[in-house]
Amino acid sequence: MKLYEYQARELLEQAGVPFPPGRVAASAEQAARAAAELGPPVVIKAQVLTGGRGKAGGVKMARSVEEAGGRAREILALRIKEIPVARVLVAKEVDIRKEYYLAITVDRSAKKPVLIASVSGGVDIEELAVREPEQILTLHLDPQAAPRKPALRRFLSRVFPDSQVEEALGLLLRLYRLFQSKDCSLVEINPLAGLADGSLLAADAKVVLDDNGLFKHPELEGYRNAEEYSEDESAARAAGLAFVGLDGDIGCIVNGAGLAMATMDQIKLFGGEPANFLDVGGSSSPEKVLAALNILRKNPRLKAVLINIFGGITRCDDIARGILIARAQAGLDLPLVIRLIGANQKEGAELLAREGLAALKDMSQAVKAVLGAARP
C-alpha cells in the first residue's frame, strides 16, 4: 500500500526524522492560510501516489501568501496521470546546499533488507540507476540482528562528509526502526537535504507498506487511500477478489493469479485484448463469482466474458452454481464462454448443461470461442 507524501512524512516525523514545517491543504484558501502560518517562501506539492509529479507541473514555489493561493489553485486543477489532485502539501522552503538519497527496501534475491544511499539525491533513483549506477551505494542488513553501527558508519562515510555521518546514522537508525516496526516494503527520503548550517532535513518522503503486514497495524488502517485503487478495484477487494482493469474488451474470471495472467496473455496471443485481470482466489463461493460478474458488467466496452477455472481447492460445481445464480440475478446479456476442469468438473458441467450452458475442457479452445463470440 502506497502512502501519500504527507502520510509518509507523518510516520517519519513520529519516528523522529526532521522535516521542514508543512501543512496539508485541500483548497487554494487553505493553502494560502498555510503559507501565511509558515511564512513564505513555500513549496507547494501535489499529493499523488504516482511518480513524475514535478514534470507534470505538480510542484511550485511561492514567494508570497497570494502567490501560494494561486499556485495551489493551479495544482489542484491538474490531473496527473489521469488522477485529479485532491490535496497539496505546503512546506516552508529551506536553503538546500546538497541533495542526498537514503532508502531502505527488501532485496528479494539476497533475501535481506537493503540500505540504498547516494550523493546524487533529488532525482528519480531508477533513472539514476540506469544513468550512473556507480553513484548508488547499497548495504545489506542482517534481518535477524540489530544493525551494527560501525558498519553503518563506514557505509555512510562514503556518502556524507565526516561532519554529517553521526547525524545521518541517527536518522538511518530511526528510519530502520520504522521500516521494521510498521512492516514497510520501502521507506525513502529523497532528497535528504544538507542545509547551510550542516544539518540534515528530509525534503520529501515515500513509504510503501506491505499489504500482508497490515493486519498487525490497525493504527495504519486510516492511511488506506482510495486513489491507489479504481472504484472497480476497490469493489473487487471488498469481495475478496484480485482485479486489475485493462483496456480491452474480453472480460476474464479465473482462479489463481498465474493462470489468470496466462489467460490474458493467450487472449492477446490469439488476437484479442483482455479487459481485465481477475483472480477469484482459492475458495469458490457462488457470491464471489456473482461479485466478479457484477464488476465486469459495468465495463461498457465489454463484448464477451471467459470464465477459466482449474479446480483444485476451488470446486467446479461451486463455480457452476455461482454462474447460474449470477445469471438469474443479473440477467447477463453478454456472450459467456465457460471452461471448467479439475475437481468436480463433471458435476459442474452437468449443472450448467441443465440450464443450456456448455462447459469446455480445453483452454485454447475456450479462448478461441470467446474471441469468436466477441466478433460475430
In SS3 terms, 304-322 reads as: EEEEEEEECCCCHHHHHHH
Instruction: Report the residue number, 95 or 127, with the smaller CB distance to another protein.
Output: 127
Instruction: Report the residue number, 39 or 51, with the smaller CB distance to another protein.
Output: 51
Task: Identify the residue among 62, 172, 254, 304 touching another protein (CB under 8 A).
Answer: 254
| 265 within 8 A of 237, measured Cβ to Cβ | no
Instruction: Report the residue number, 111 or 219, with the smaller CB distance to another protein.
Output: 111
* 163 near another protein (CB under 8 A): no
Cα separations in angstroms, 84 against 50, 188, 229, 373: 11, 24, 13, 37
**Rounded CA gap, 132 and 306, in Å?**
46
* 213 near another protein (CB under 8 A): yes
Site string for another protein, 291-330 (x = CB under 8 A): -------------------xxxxx----------------
**Rounded CA gap, 140 and 118, in Å?**
15
Beta carbon of residue 257, minimum distance to another protein (angstroms, whole number):
3
In the region spanning residues 132 to 151, those forming contacts with another protein, defined by CB under 8 A, are: 142-144
Task: Identify the residue among 82, 95, 111, 221 touching another protein (CB under 8 A).
Answer: 111
Q: Which stretch binds another protein (CB under 8 A): 24-32, 55-63, 154-162, 339-347?
A: 339-347
Q: Which amino acid is at 11?
A: L
Task: Identify the residue among 59, 78, 235, 242 touching another protein (CB under 8 A).
Answer: 242
Instruction: Report the residue number, 20 or 58, with the smaller CB distance to another protein.
Output: 58
Is 176 designated active site? Answer: no
Q: Which amino acid is at 284?
A: S
Q: Which stretch binds another protein (CB under 8 A): 109-117, 156-164, 187-195, 350-358?
A: 109-117
Cα separations in angstroms, 166 against 115, 163, 172, 222, 237: 16, 7, 10, 34, 44
Site string for another protein, 269-298 (x = CB under 8 A): x----x--x-x-------------------
* Residue whose entry in the numeric block shows the C-alpha cell 520504522: 178
- Phi, psi at residue 232, to the nearest 5°? -65, -40
Catalytic residue among 4, 6, 100, 101: 101
Rounded to an integer, what is the distance from CA 362 to the centroid of its chain? 35
**Rounded CA gap, 53 and 68, in Å?**
18
Is 132 designated active site? Answer: no
Instruction: Report the residue number, 193 or 278, with the smaller CB distance to another protein.
Output: 278
Three-state SS at 100: strand
**To which H or E segment does residue 278 belong?**
strand 276-279
Quick one: DSSP state of residue 147? Answer: P
Quick one: DSSP state of residue 274? Answer: B
Cite the active site residues: 101, 188
Q: Return residues touching another protein (CB under 8 A).
A: 106, 108-109, 111-113, 126, 129-130, 142-144, 179-180, 183-185, 210-213, 215-216, 242, 244, 246, 254-262, 264-269, 274, 277, 279, 310-314, 341-343, 362-364
